[in-house]
Structure 1
Amino acid sequence: MKLDSPIFDRIRVKPDRDRRPKAEGPVCEWAGCCNASTHRAPKGRQQEGQFWRFCFDHVREYNQSYNYFAGMKDDAVAAYQKDALTGHRPTWKMGQNGGNKGRRGGPQDHQPENFADPFGMFGEMGGAHRPDPEPPRESRMIRNAERRAFESLGLEFSATTEEIKARFKELVKRFHPDANGGDTSTEDRLRDVIQAYNHLKSTGFC
Structure 2
Amino acid sequence: MSHRAYIGGLPAGVRVSHQPRKDRPNSRFHGRVEAPGRLCAEPGCAQPGEFRAPLLGDRRPSDHPPEYRWLCLDHVRAFNAGYNFFSGMSPDEIHAAQRPFAGWERETRAFNATGGADRPPRWADFSDPLDAIGARWRQAMPAERKDGKPLSGKDREALRTLALEVDADRMALRRRYSELVRKYHPDRNGGDRSHEGALQQVIEAYQQLKASPAFA
Q: TM-score, normalised to structure 1's length? A: 0.33
Higher relative contact order (CA 8 A, sep 6+): 2
Rg comparison, structure with higher value: 1
